[in-house]
Structure 1
Amino acid sequence: MSLASSYDPKQFEARLYEQWESSGVFQPRGEGPTYSILLPPPNVTGTLHMGHAFQHTLQDALIRYHRMRGYDTLWQMGTDHAGIATEMVVARNLGQEGLTRDGLGRDGFIEKVWEWKAHSGGTIERQMRRLGASGDWTRSTFTMDPMATQAVIEAFVRMHEQGLIYRGQRLVNWDPVLKTAISDLEVVNEEEDGFLWSISYPLSDGSATLTVATTRPETMLGDTAVMVHPDDERYQHLIGKTVTLPLTGREIPVIADAYVDREFGTGVVKVTPAHDFNDYAVGQRHELPLINIFTPDATVNGNAPERFVGLDRYEARKVVLAELEAQGLLVETKPHKLQVPRGDRTGQVIEPYLTDQWFVRMDGLAKRGLALVEQGEVRFVPANWINTYRHWMENIQDWCISRQLWWGHRIPAWYDAQGNIYVARTAAEAYEKYLKDVPAGILTQDDYEQVLSGEHAEHRLTQDNDVLETWFSSGLWPFSTLGWPDAAAMGARGFERYLPTSVLVTGFDIIFFWVARMIMLTDHFTGQVPFRDVYIHGLVRDKDGQKMSKSKGNVLDPIDLIDGITLDELLAKRTSGLMQPKMAEKIEKATRREFPEGIPAFGADALRFTIAALATHGRDIKFDLGRAEGYKNFCNKLWNATRFVLMNTDGARFAGAPQPRTDAERWILAQLAKAAAEAEAHFAAYRFDLLAQSLYEFAWNAFCDWFVELAKPALQGEDREAADSTRHTLLYVLERLLSLLHPLIPFVTEELWQQVALKLGVAESTIMLRAYPQAAEFAGDYARAEADVEWLKAMVSALRKVRSELNVKPSDLVPLLLAKGDASDRERSERFASQLTFLNKLERIEFVDDVAAAPPAAPAVVGELTLLVPLPAEKLDAERVRLDKEKKRVEGEIAKCRGKLASETFVQNAPPAVVEQERKRLIDWTTMLEELVAQRAKLD
């Protein structure tokens, strides 16, 4: 197969991936030490976003690198069932068919969800393939698969038997639209405009009133105390007295607690333990009653006065405020900025809600989890993230693991008619536990059989309707994917071999929600840590540092960057499903401004290299399409360099490492050794940005530019042995360069490598199985060659700069005069005369004793050596005229800029950006003038 004349990733990326996957090369192989990575499982109904692309690229680079190093590599793939997100998607689809979740019932709805999963569940995995993810798809696990489900049930039952899981009533984040508890990660706090209302609470003895301030007056219906600071002298005499709660008539105590901020408002606050997390903690300390005033859909329930029952929470607010004002108890209303918690799925304001849920006791688990990290069993990269981990673990609360959903792992707990709970692996096991509690003689043998079959109505058990939150099953991911707790499955999937995994690549936003829970649960159930390293990457933002969001119209789809998308397609995609015309208009404007011609196709490799180059050890990653364009050019540069090498080695066949005959060959081998050593160091430190920079510099500058240029004199020279040796080195270094780059840009390197490998007699069928370059392979005493070639490069660069400044045509021959310098300069000038002549189109090279006596010439300096390029008088005169004319034009532009900036009217009235632009123009024009003056002086 010949190499196409131009770089077009669409012609080979999909083809190569299909070949890789079908060959089985992604599966564990190799006899070296193990290297394994867990894929953080994306939502099964989701699509690839930039965060996924960033994370998956880095994981794939590590996997490909270690696979090439001979490690037994496993990249465990999988997807998450995503309870809330999936239910919302399926419910919305049902609505379009005129169906409802409740109308179908639990079993019917779950059936629809499985249909949806079968239809769309593979979308994100197909997109991952498009990006080049080389994971073992044959082992891909879904969190609702039987193997993973068995692990979830076993873990729940064991932890309940150990007293670590319990059911209790506590305050949780509650979404009144979804009617379920949600985690902190699913709550987005947004600053919004609100009000602060001051309300009078009269003392029960009528002696005075206390004024409290609140942003949620409707919750006062559930107040069970007012609170002051114990050291606040203004109120110490009131502690222990009671106030009459307005609108309800209930008497509630005045309590003292150091939680109160004496400087906020009047220093008196209301306490509503059932509707505020901080108040809940206060209530626990002071044994206050918990009065929940809301139903699951955030309407007022019967615990409030009858006239409020049934009102929506915001309607209740209006009525509360109206009655307070009518009674003269509303002291003040003033605007107030507040943080409003909203559900990230529904956008609804989240209620702190008192409800019965299942919890995991975290104290003991957290102590052990923190100790494992403090002792170095798990290492964070960058190391400062251990502080975030430590903060979470030292301030941990019991973990609410139940969700009021239908899609997910149903909690393995059954209730009898009296409300007794039986936690079991199966319904049959639950009935067996239940029957042990039934007094002897109550049931006959026939009754027992009826109960076990679920037919005996009086003794029928009912399974808990709730499901486990997805973080519970995700917390078991390191070992549930390896077959735990089934011994046979554990043996088949390599439990002992692949746990602990080598590294977890994830974002800082889920250090507690996922990373910490995997550490705690893996240690608890297996006695192992889940991974040795945790590499924490930042969040991907747009080029201006703004968070990517659909509402801002700045979301980038990785597949659009790979394949390209027209403006019309992009507009349709971004505004699809938006109900608000203003929002659609805003997004359309932003899109037209940013992408007037759509997004060009960059290919997977250019996107991947951009991601690697941006992967610094910081928190935020600003993604700029300009970088992707630059790295597409880089791939094109590799393509063209390979074409050059192939054309100049046509018919050649070589084997093994070359025996260099020229200094240029020795120099490039030394540079290759340095690049290989740097690559190894950067992979070990997870410095993908430095890795990309190092390989870019070696590929573009050292190989594609300099070595290709330095090889031309030998290739076109009379020394046949030097020409053959140079051909061998060109192929050899290119093959090793492609191998170095392969983990970052797998497609283009494979396509090019296949052509190069043919000429080197390489045994491997794919670059993926080629040994990754090691610095020791290229060892040699090349120090002198390096110094000599660096001198040659400096000479060539200096001469090219002079030719450019003098506007000499590339085809024109010019003489070169050399002066000063030392003995080594003379020796190198003679030894590299043919290269200098060839590369710089020189007519001749001469040494002169006196620079002053030399004809008019443009000078340059390399070390102690002076270079002079004389030109015929007519060319010098023409160049002087051109430079004088250009100098006059630039001086005119400088005068214009200075005139504008000297005008107070312009500086004060023009937009700041325009003024700043004019200042920059002045600097640029001034710099240009200085360069022109210097060039002109060379000709005098």
Structure 2
Amino acid sequence: MNIPIKYNPKSVERKIYRYWMNGNYFLSFPDKRTPYTIVMPPPNITGILHIGHILNNTIQDVLIRYARMNGYNPCWVPGTDHASIATETKIVHQLKKKGISKILIGRDKFLSHILEWSKKHRNIILNQLKKLGCSCDWNRLQFTMNENSSKSITKIFIDLYERGYIYRGYHVVNWDPEARTTISDEEVIYKESIGELYQIKYPIKGEKDFVSIATTRPETIFGDTAICFHPDDKRYSHLKGKYAIIPIINRIIPIIQDSYVDPNFGTGCLKITPAHDINDKNIADKYHLDIIDIFNEDATLNEKGLHYQGMDRFEVKKKIIKELDELGFIENIEENFHQRIGFSERTKSMVEQKLSLQWFLKMKEISIPAIKVVKNGEIKFHPSRFKKNYFQWMDRIRDWNISRQLWWGHRIPVYYYGNSPHDFVVAENLEEALKKVKLKIPNISYDKIWQDSDVLDTWFSSWILPISVFDGISNPHNHEMSYYYPTEDLVTGSDILFFWVARMIMAGLLFKKKKPFKNVYFTGIVRDSKNKKISKSLNNSPNPIDLIEKYGADSVRMGIMLRASAGKDFHFEDNFCLQGKNFSNKIWNAFRLIQSWKIVEENKELHEASKQAIEWFENRFYYVLEIFEKLFKEYKLDESLMILYKLICNDFCSLFLEIIKPVSGKCISKIEYSNTVKLFENVLKLLHPYMPFLSEEIWNLLRIRTKEEALIISSWPKKRSYNKNLLSSFERTTKIVSKIRHIRNKIHIPYKTSLILFSIGKKEEYHSVILKLANLSQIIYVKKPEKQRLLSFFLGTDRYFLSVDKKYYHRMDIVDIEKKIQYFHNLLSMIRKNLSNEKYVKYVSKDILLKEKKKESDTLKKIVYLKEILNKME
């Protein structure tokens, strides 16, 4: 067999993935086995995968491959997400560069552009997942905008509306002026910013006096409908029941009192702008204040902004400060004022709070069962500390704004037929809508009915994913739904705990009366060298395909997984992949070594060292397997990989193969070879979930296999008892060898130079192993060593002696003397540093100074003396 000297991951990975696909090893159908189901968190179609996705999908693949080898029926459902806001924003920008307007070309043509683009980018993502080695059931590929998903979404919207959970209402929402749509609270990223706090004077009606308010947003005064102070704030008690006049606008507004106001902030008086602040809206509802919306969809001012109409909000801010100042209404400007400003996670534009008529889903009631299943441990979080975040969010949960002012997404199944806000029906399609409307207006025609132009929040399609992928909404009692649901593990980032995880739990309990999954594994956030989260939007991720091309998929997987502690952030570096590549090469070289041996067909008796090595490594393997399994089942996947890494590098390659390999030019017996291959195969099984390509390639090269004998579907090693005393004794043996090797290295004794070891005490259990690994001619057991040149070392209380040639013996002394000289040089340097320090010399006592000078003199003498001895020895 022609085995390449160097491992070539590029050609191997292409070949092996084709081998798996042709063998249909990824497919899953309901059968008698226990199912093990994972639904892939669908990556957005807005670009290529980044390192965070590589980490997430590698973990899923590790879990699914482990389950497959443990006899489960694994079903990994892949998919992609349509990502309404991000995708629409990207296509709008692309068309704009070509001089094409979304509005002018219309909804249908615009959506055809997105569909074409999304198909191309979905394929890019899927090919990346395949290059990584993901063993998904590709026949089950999902897209959150496919027909089944759309039907499911429409069905649950109607169901929730009819049950009173969905309603339409005016609320202050987060508005993204660039995407021109509402976004959820979780999609707002708050950043600390330094700005100005303006104190503006509002004249009091009928008086020459005024009241000052403090604000960071003077441009919003056009939406003011009251001024408010705390009822206990005596500074303003004289204003009770009075009115103020808004500068420039000259609109009269009431001065009210409410305990919401913080008397210690600014002037203690707050301007109430209900259309653009949720807390102000709550006060407005309480005191029946007017609500005035001053912004257009793009955050320019509307007609309420008077002479600033049509002007951008930031430009208005500059100009209105100037105007207020010229009119004498600016009392003070506090610079370097620290504030938190919200930005859209998708478009990075500054978010406005804006009163808007939207569709909402009531959340409080459906959150209660979802809190309970996590609290009682039916759903486990890994690590468990994320439960605290989960409970905090669920306790203060607000109604979910599920409508988005976009064209790309699941269109809201609501049809209008009149001018009143209540003139609508909820229906699956136009025909069904017409039937419902005809019950109210018998003579109405199709052209008098129109569908809501908004779409549903992307997360509204994702929250039913564990159900919809098995058609559990449209066909709730189908066989696949009953077999695969609930799923086993969800692997996701903690940053979407509220966006997605919490909502999926609510959806599963609401629609199926069952939890959607049993475990949630939270990956850490992968960060760049500047400590920023690696993400598509920041464009700070190395291209995973470039990494795979350079190092190989297994190397990338292994390099990342060694750092992938559940819930723990880490900084990605390219050298992680290099470590993986070096590990791959080590395993490949071990395989090449085994393949290079000449096998003697007749079954000879095992050499003593080989016999002991096989017995030891077999016991060592089952010891490691026990720890590996324990760590794996606790989702400590990085730790389980590390113990495997050490088993392969230290135990298998550095010890076992060194003992078992025949002396140069000699042959190995068939029994030694077959035992070596058997043990290597066990190691490959443990390695397979983490490094599937390399392990499968070597597995197939070790011996001829049938389709049913592929590593991917082989049986995971069963746990067996092991001899702890044997392992302990062998560990002692390795320590002896290590001591001898250390002495060899220290005084440069060539490995080929054979030595004699004298042992004081009982015979070493692994006598033959020590002889081979330490290259000793013999081990002599004596009560007292002969009088000759011997170098001694201890292992615990046991003493050993090495017989060495005269030149090496003296070299040991030379090395020791050189070390002492270096030590005294370092000491002398420290003493002289103190003595050259003027402050030290000035402030220490004369006694200490004399002692330091004497120490300097003594140290110099020792150095001179040791150098004289060294010169004589050399």
Q: Which residue of 2 aligns with 1:916?
A: none
Q: Could you tell which deviates more after superposition, 287-296 or 745-754?
A: 287-296
In structure 2, distance between residues paired with 1:433 and 1:380? 45
- Which residue in 1 is equivalent to 2:508? 522
CA distance in 2, matches of 1:861, 1:31: 60
Q: Report the counterpart of residue 326 of structure 1 in structure 2.
A: 326
Per-residue deviation at 1:892?
5.5
Shift of 1:507: 0.8
Alignment of 1:799 onto 2:733: no
Instruction: Give the Cα–Cα distance (whole angstroms) in 2 for the partners of residues 177 and 616 of structure 1.
Output: 37
TM-aligned CA distance change 1:181 to 1:552, over 3 Å: closer
- Give me the whole-angstrom Cα distance separating, in 2, the residues matched to 1:653 and 1:421: 88
Is the counterpart of residue 479 in structure 1 residue 467 in structure 2? yes
- Give yes or no for the alignment of 1:297 onto 2:298: yes
Counterpart of 1:827 in structure 2 is 763
Deviations 1:257-305 (A, max 9, x none): 232222222222211111123322333333332111111111222234x
The structural deviation recorded for 1:310 is: 2.4
Are 2:711 and 1:767 aligned?
yes
> Which residue of structure 1 lines up, in the alignment, with residue 642 of structure 2?
693
For the structure 1 residues 715 and 524, does the alpha-carbon distance in structure 2 shift closer, same or farther, using more than 3 Å as the test?
farther
The superposition leaves residues 849-884 of structure 1 with CA deviations (integer Å, 9 ceiling, x where unpaired) of 345x63233221123321212322233335545665
In the alignment, the residues of structure 1 paired with residue 789 and residue 464 of structure 2 have an alpha-carbon distance, to the nearest angstrom, of 79
1-side partners of 2:504 and 2:166: how far apart? 17
| 1:468 maps onto 2:456 in alignment | yes
**Partner Cα distance (2:537, 2:143) in 1:** 31
Q: Does 2:808 align with 1:875?
A: yes
1:310/1:95 Cα in 2 relative to 1: closer, same or farther (>3 Å)?
Answer: closer
* Inter-CA distance 315–784: structure 2 relative to 1 (3 Å threshold): closer
- Are the equivalent residues in 1 in contact too, given 2:599–2:673 (CA < 8 A)? no
In the alignment, does 2:607 pair up with 1:671? no
- Residues 1:788 and 2:729 are matched in the alignment: yes
Match of 1:436 in 2: 439
Of 791-800 and 34-43, deviating more is 791-800
Contact 2:404 2:454 in 1 (8 A): yes
Q: CA deviation at 1:691?
A: 0.8
Partner of 2:493: 507
1:547 equivalent in alignment to 2:533: yes
SS in 2 for 1:827: coil
Mapped contact 1:666–1:786 kept (Cα < 8 A): no
Q: CA deviation at 1:710?
A: 2.4
- AA aligned opposite 1:281: N
Residues in 1 aligned to 2:693 and 2:602: alpha-carbon distance in whole angstroms: 24
Q: 1:756: Cα distance to partner? A: 2.5
The one-letter code of the counterpart of 2:776 is L
Counterpart position of 2:385 = 384
Letter in 1 for 2:243: T
Q: Is the 8 A contact 2:746 2:812 kept in 1?
A: no
Map of 1:261 onto structure 2: 262
Q: Report if the CA contact (8 A) 1:735-1:757 is conserved.
A: no
Q: Structure 1: 5+ residue runs without aligned partners?
A: 564-600, 908-928
Quote the Cα distance in structure 1 between the aligned partners of 2:153 and 2:536.
34
1:264/1:34 CA distance change after superposition, 3 Å: same
2:340 counterpart residue number? 339
> Which ranges in structure 2 are unaligned for 5 or more consecutive residues?
841-862
Deviation, structure 1 residue 39: 0.5
In the aligned structure 2, how far is the partner of 1:632 from the partner of 1:653? 38
Equivalent pair of 2:554/2:693 in contact (CA under 8 Å): yes
CA displacement 1:437-491 (0-9 Å, x = unmatched): 016xxx3xxxx7xx2xx3xx5xx1011111111010011111111113333x963
Q: Secondary structure at the match of 2:139?
A: strand
Q: Which amino acid aligns with 2:615?
A: R
- 1:491 maps to 478
2:747–2:815 Cα contact (<8 Å) kept: no
Matched AA of 2:93:
R
* Alignment of structure 1 residues 229-628 onto 2, 5 Å: 229-304=230-305, 306-335=306-335, 336-419=337-420, 420-438=423-441, 443=443, 451=445, 454=446, 457=447, 460-487=448-475, 491=478, 494-543=480-529, 545-548=531-534, 554-563=540-549, 601-628=550-577
1:624-670 alpha-carbon deviations (Å, 9 max, x no partner): 3333222221121111112222333758799xxxx998232221111
- The 3 A distance-change label for structure 1 pair 784 and 177 is closer
Corresponding position of 1:738: 684
Distance (Å, rounded) in 1 between the aligned partners of 2:713 and 2:429: 46
1:713 and 1:838 in contact (8 A); partners too: no
Counterpart in the other structure of 1:158: 159
Where 1:274 maps in the other structure, the secondary structure is: helix
SS in 1 for 2:140: strand
Distance 1:227 1:6, change over 3 A: same
What residue in structure 1 maps to residue 795 of structure 2?
862
Q: 2 CA distance for matches of 1:834 and 1:280?
A: 85
SS at match of 1:389: helix
The answer (yes or no) to whether the contact 1:713–1:834 under 8 Å persists in 2 is no
Taking the aligned partners of 1:682 and 1:358, their CA distance within structure 2 comes to 46
Q: Given the superposition, is the C-alpha separation of residues 132 and 652 from structure 1 closer, same or farther in structure 2, using an over 3 Å criterion?
A: farther
Q: Secondary structure at the match of 2:193?
A: strand
Other-structure match for 1:641 = 590
Q: What does the per-residue CA deviation read over 1:877-915, in whole Å, with 9 as the maximum and x for residues that have no partner? A: 3554566567656765776688679877999xxxxxxxx
- Which string of whole-angstrom CA distances, capped at 9 and with x for unpartnered residues, describes residues 164-217 of structure 1? 111111111112122111223432222233111111223224264322111110
Instruction: State, as a whole percentage, how many aligned pairs show the same letter.
Output: 35
State the AA in 2 paired with 1:481. V
Local SS of the residue matching 1:16 = helix
Deviation at 1:2, TM superposition (A): 4.3
Shift of 1:93: 2.8
1:77-92 correspondence runs (5 A): 77-92=78-93
Partner of 1:926: none
Deviation of 1:763 (Å): 7.5
Distance in 2, matches of 1:96 and 1:303, equals 33
1:555 counterpart letter in structure 2: S
Change over 3 Å in CA distance of 1:82–1:763 after alignment to 2 = closer
TM superposition shift of 1:552:
7.9
Separation (CA, whole Å) in 1 of partners of 2:416 and 2:636:
54
Give the stretch that moved more between structures: 541-550 or 153-162: 541-550
Q: How many angstroms apart in 2 are the aligned matches of 1:97 and 1:307?
A: 34
CA, structure 1 residues 260+856, in 2 after alignment: closer, same or farther (shift >3 Å)?
farther
1: distance between equivalents of 2:838 and 2:68?
A: 66
Q: Which residue of 1 aligns with 2:851?
A: none
Higher mean C-alpha deviation, range 840-849 or range 260-269? 840-849
Shift of 1:81: 0.8
Distance of 2:302 and 2:272 partners within structure 1: 19
Alpha-carbon contact 1:31-1:71 (below 8 Å) kept:
no
CA 1:18 to 1:490, structure 2 compared with 1: closer, same or farther past 3 Å? farther
Q: Does 1:756 align with 2:743?
A: no
Q: Whole-Å Cα distance in 2 between the matches of residues 549 and 63 of structure 1?
A: 25
TM-score w.r.t. structure 1 length? 0.84
1:901 and 1:159 mapped to 2: Cα distance? 80
Instruction: Go from structure 1 to structure 2 and tell me whether the alpha carbon gap of 1:902 and 1:421 turns closer, same or farther (over 3 Å shift).
Output: farther
Task: Name the SS of the counterpart of 1:93 in structure 2.
Answer: helix
Aligned to 2:264, the other structure's residue is in SS state: coil
Cα distance, 1:437–1:765 mapped onto 2, change above 3 Å:
same
* Residue equivalent to 2:847: none
Further displaced range: 424-433 or 93-102: 93-102
Cα displacement (A) at 1:32? 2.3
Taking the aligned partners of 2:142 and 2:495, their CA distance within structure 1 comes to 24
Contact preservation (8 Å) 1:672, 1:775: no
Secondary structure of the 1:121 match is helix
